[in-house]
Structure 1
Amino acid sequence: MTGTPAALRESHHADVSGGWLRPAVFGAMDGLVTNIALIAGVGGGGVSPRNIVLTGTAGLVAGAISMALGEYTSVRSANEQIAAEVAKERRELELHPEAEARELAELLAARGLPKDLAVQVAEAVREKPELALRMHIQEELGVNPDEHPDPWAAAISSFLCFSLGALVPLLPYLFGATSLALALAVGGLGLFVAGAVVSRFTNRRWWTGGLRQLLLGAAAALATFFVGALIGVQGAL
């Protein structure tokens, strides 16, 4: 076979910089678990199907907005913190190039590079300011200064996936059903499918990913159902 080696292709690995996959997965799972548990709680309290739909819809809208705002703020804050550290490191390289070169050599040697070679690499990198900055940031902070997750991508993917996840347990009611058990079963199926889909990105067995999410969601729904049933019974007394 001929062609570019896999290690030299940018598409060789999946995007693990936190761009869209993490908030998308988090949003979908949070939407599913939140609304399944919310519906189980109010359903366990004995409210009417109409009120369940109202509660679930409010949970969908409020949760999706909260997730989007939270993702945007957290990702942007992280990017700003990294930018501040990059600026600080740039100043250190300009003011104390010898000390920074020694520091880089020590870091490389600590990773297992022979000491003499580590010194040579640090001295060679010192002649290229941008490369030196990148290596210092990677070695000292463990991040790539050239790769920043997009806060808008995180916010939008989180908003959409939370909304889709939260919609799943509401579907039976929206189509005219009145059975809480059916809504929870549909929600459980959604959890299993979501976990199985996510496993495709992580090379895990699809059924173990699906079962894990199903069990976690079932535990949350069971807890809120009993809380709702307890409060509902007390309120009726």
Structure 2
Amino acid sequence: MPAELHKHHRDVTGGWLRPAVFGVMDGLVSNAALLAGVVGGGASPTAVAVTGLAGLAAGAFSMATGEYTSVASQRELTLAEIAVERKEIARNPEAEERELALVYESRGLTPELARQVAGQLHRDGEVAWRVHAREELGVDPDDLPSPWVAAGSSFLAFAVGALIPVLPFLLGFSSVVVAIVLTGLALFGTGALVARLTTRSPLFGGARQLALGAAAAAVTYGIGTLVGAAIS
């Protein structure tokens, strides 16, 4: 008999990957673009550093607040719908059992087997409402995303990403070239890492993220140059 194969899948529902990835990317691109704008406007290295730190703090708190609110709202809506489902099962268990049997029929089970499976699951009320939540709402009630995890991931990730463009100025470098090179490497590296996590081409993912970040920085640099020239 051949050995049984077990596949180990990565956690794709924990609620941390999307805000963490988005936070790093957003921190890199937004702060690099912000600094490009003030550099184009003729700001001093000190002003650039202060602007970068302000952008880091403002963006990190904004990201964390937005992620917390959105995930908490989604979680509350899901829990409210689960509560409705639990009430329906308690009030009319026979109808809900038939409804579950129809779901299994639509997935290929024979009517008799579908009724047997639904009946077996409905013997335990706690099992029943969890199954209905998964089958009808498409959610796992035991693995709902945490708003605190999403907020914390977003805050830390954005702060790390936003720190990279401003780091050379904090270390005393006055030339923007160092910041450009460091930011470019970080953009390519994070894009390649995300592509690898999603089984895409790291070269394509890195190049795409680098191109998008460079475009954003170029636009804001041009705006800063125009505004700086007009004001002076």
TM-score (norm: length of structure 2): 0.91
Shift of 1:211: 1.3
Shift of 1:18: 3.5
TM-score (norm: length of structure 1): 0.89
> Structure 2 matches for 1:162-173, cutoff 5 A?
162-173=158-169
Aligned partners of 1:40 and 1:184 also within 8 Å = no
Aligned partners of 2:14 and 2:143 also within 8 Å = no
1-side partners of 2:53 and 2:75: how far apart? 33
Give the corresponding residue for 1:154: 150
1:194-231 deviation line (CA, Å, top 9, x unaligned): 11222332222222221121112112112212222222
Does residue 199 in structure 1 map to residue 191 in structure 2?
A: no
2:139 corresponds to which of 123, 137, 143: 143
1:189 corresponds to which of 182, 185, 191: 185
Does residue 58 in structure 1 map to residue 54 in structure 2?
A: yes
2-side partners of 1:30 and 1:115: how far apart? 51
Structure 2, unaligned runs of 5 or more: none
After superposing the two structures, state which structure 1 stretch, 222-231 or 59-68, moved more. Answer: 222-231
Moved over 6 A (4+): 1-4
Letter in 2 for 1:103: E
1:77-99 deviation line (CA, Å, top 9, x unaligned): 22222111111110000011121
Letter in 1 for 2:6: A
Q: Aligned pair count?
A: 232
1:118 corresponds to which of 114, 119, 134: 114
Does residue 20 in structure 1 map to residue 16 in structure 2?
A: yes
Give the corresponding residue for 1:101: 97
Counterpart secondary structure, 2:139: coil
Give the corresponding residue for 1:6: 6
Q: Percent of pairs identical after alignment?
A: 55
Shift of 1:26: 1.2
Aligned partners of 1:38 and 1:56 also within 8 Å = yes
2-side partners of 1:4 and 1:155: how far apart? 40
1:68-126 deviation line (CA, Å, top 9, x unaligned): 22222222222222111111110000011121112212222223333332222222222
Does residue 208 in structure 1 map to residue 204 in structure 2?
A: yes
2-side partners of 1:196 and 1:54: how far apart? 30
Counterpart secondary structure, 1:113: coil
Give the corresponding residue for 1:218: 214
Letter in 1 for 2:180: L
